[in-house]
Amino acid sequence: MILIGIGSNLGHPAHGSPSNTCKAAVSAIQNTGCRVLSVSNLYRSAPIPASNQPDYVNGAVSLETELDPTELMATLHDIENEFDRVRLAQNSARTLDLDLLIYEDIIREGPESPILPHPRMTGRAFVLLPVRDIASDWTHPISGVSLDTFLRQIGDTQHCVPIN
């Protein structure tokens, strides 16, 4: 199982709203030769950490690919660039954010990129809810903690709601 997180909180001239941009990103991923297997619902949530940015729209896709994690991450960055992603500062507003969340059972820690599973995914409802839509039985390969347990730990503090 390979899972990619998709997010946007700025409109894009060619794709429109953040929701439409996320949907266009799924097509862009598929156009790289990756085979998209399933797509989650989209969710709206406030930025984390809290700021005056617009709300985010987030989702996730599962896919198959011949690319290794490093090649896949480079491909995702290429797609972000095609969608006019500008990296001004950490947690800044963006037209598109693509994160490699899980790549099969691979565990990568330390300086090698990408770190797997994604190091911040378990504390973010906007990641876990879409993942639950397409991989409800996933458990963290290091801690053994389930998605539902992580979501219970977060509770309603992040106000992440489905939009489609």
Which residues are known catalytic residues? 85, 94, 97, 99
Terminal-to-terminal C-alpha distance of the chain:
24
Q: Residue 48: what are its φ and ψ, rounded to 5°? A: -125, 125
Nearest to 55 by CA among 164, 129, 159: 159
Contact 120, 24 (CB under 8 A): no
Q: Residue 39: what are its φ and ψ, rounded to 5°? A: -130, 135
| DSSP, res 67 | S
Contact 8, 22 (CB under 8 A): yes
